[in-house]
Structure 1
């Protein structure tokens, strides 16, 4: 369920929370009726029906037979949000190239609300399926992208995020303390890239490089693959450099775009 919406007094607004819970549930189910949603969300059918009618009036959901589904207006909103990232086309081009070069999954992530949010994802020809999807979020401390972004943020912002974390072991190798995370961030700063050593999903490893512009952290770019193929040697000898090269091209092209020019992948 999404975080509660807060009014000026600091209290959450329950009706808005319920509306977003309905949207979340429809995203998960694809389509659902009033009774199913009421059972899923533990609210009365009359409450769910009222929220669905309101969302339908606002063109956020549409009727789908005996149920409801999300409308294409959600897609319009998502496209608008994506297009607000000024260097999105550059990111897409470089992530596509990174996936093609490595044959693995390549991704770009940013920090939102103290979590890692996936902005773009592309699969290479040998890629295996991963749980991440564009728009979804993962813990910063359990992902190469998240840890790499944290290591690049100003100290006060990084500390704020770390202090707000609720550390939970995703796998046996997940970092589960602020002290261990701080030590890991120091290592990332020293070598210039971060690694997820089966910390988020067992059997998958990931390496990520930070992307910055004028001392602003834009996000990070990564390569993910099965541990059997993404070995430690391959990470340090090949994939880290590939990720750093992609990050550098994004940085340069972002700078050129700000100056009104254009950059080219080398």
Structure 2
């Protein structure tokens, strides 16, 4: 008896999926008679099936006599499965931050021993300090150190070079794990990271975490000339970063692009 019930529901599900595929392939609404003929189904059975699908939003019914087309639930599902680039979702927020502060804004995620720049937006005056898709080091960048500070201390080494001293880019570059651990402690305490010309001479960077409800850690930063992104302006820049990070976290499609990213990069 249980097997018969399972088969019945399986057949109903399959017929519903075939009906949706048929409506999608035709590209135009179909009437009950034509759809029943195409699917080789009795009209009463098809009508019951369409009524259930309409109630759940998978088909829409129009006119009299009625015709049927794919419903809003189909398009909502398709949107979650369609690859969307990060910048399509986050660019307006990052661009607004860049224009307001006059610095390059960056959104990043850990990728092995590197930071992957998911989106980079320039202010009206282009600084061109980095680009989307760019990989950089974790131990000497604002984004990287902010992301490392969010990890369980036992996992930090998973995202660092295997050997010390680390590669030096300027005379300010952190080159040992001991130095880095001390800096990460300060970052956790104050809530933001600073790359004070550690990666590039003359360039300063500040970063904060993006407070997402997803299980992927993101960081948002701004980078600019060291003489302009000065220590005495850190409080103001920090406030702007926190506000923008909150706005990124609340973007409606952020979960979709994070899921797509997780699939592409095999992020845990």
- TM-score bracket, normalised by the shorter chain, equals 0.5 to 0.7
Pairwise CA RMSD: 2.4
What is the match of residue 235 of structure 2? 237
What is the match of residue 193 of structure 2? 194
Unpaired runs of 5+ residues, structure 1, are 1-81, 259-266
What per-residue deviation string (whole Å, max 9, x for no partner) do you get for residues 22-70 of structure 1? xxxxxxxxxxxxxxxxxxxxxxxxxxxxxxxxxxxxxxxxxxxxxxxxx
Conservation of the 8 A alpha-carbon contact between 2:145 and 2:193: yes
Q: Displacement of 1:165 after TM fit? A: 6.0
What is the match of residue 112 of structure 1? 111
What is the match of residue 183 of structure 2? 184
**Number of aligned positions between the proteins:** 174
SS at match of 1:207: strand
What is the match of residue 158 of structure 2? 160
CA gap of 1:229–1:137, structure 2 versus 1, over 3 A, is: same
Q: In the aligned structure 2, how far is the partner of 1:256 from the partner of 1:139? A: 25
What is the match of residue 140 of structure 2? 142
What is the match of residue 219 of structure 2? 220
CA gap of 1:165–1:102, structure 2 versus 1, over 3 A, is: farther
What is the match of residue 211 of structure 1? 210
What per-residue deviation string (whole Å, max 9, x for no partner) do you get for residues 129-178 of structure 1? 32x22212111011000100111123333232236365111111010000
Matched, 1:247 2:245: yes
Conservation of the 8 A alpha-carbon contact between 1:152 and 1:217: no
What per-residue deviation string (whole Å, max 9, x for no partner) do you get for residues 80-137 of structure 1? xx9466x65442221111111111111111111220111111111244232x222121
SS at match of 1:201: coil
Q: Which has the larger radius of gyration?
A: 2
Normalised to the residue count of structure 1, the TM-score between the two structures is 0.59
Unpaired runs of 5+ residues, structure 2, are 1-81, 257-268
What is the match of residue 128 of structure 2? 129
Conservation of the 8 A alpha-carbon contact between 2:197 and 2:204: yes
Normalised to the residue count of structure 2, the TM-score between the two structures is 0.59
What is the match of residue 38 of structure 1? none
SS at match of 1:222: strand
What per-residue deviation string (whole Å, max 9, x for no partner) do you get for residues 172-205 of structure 1? 1010000110111111111111111000000010
CA gap of 1:138–1:257, structure 2 versus 1, over 3 A, is: closer
Q: In the aligned structure 1, how far is the partner of 2:90 from the partner of 2:149? A: 20
Q: In the aligned structure 1, how far is the partner of 2:118 from the partner of 2:181? A: 25
Residue pairs, 1:36-47, within 5 angstroms:
none
SS at match of 1:179: helix
Q: In the aligned structure 1, how far is the partner of 2:92 from the partner of 2:253? A: 16
Conservation of the 8 A alpha-carbon contact between 2:149 and 2:184: yes
Q: In the aligned structure 2, how far is the partner of 1:184 from the partner of 1:245? A: 24
CA gap of 1:126–1:229, structure 2 versus 1, over 3 A, is: farther
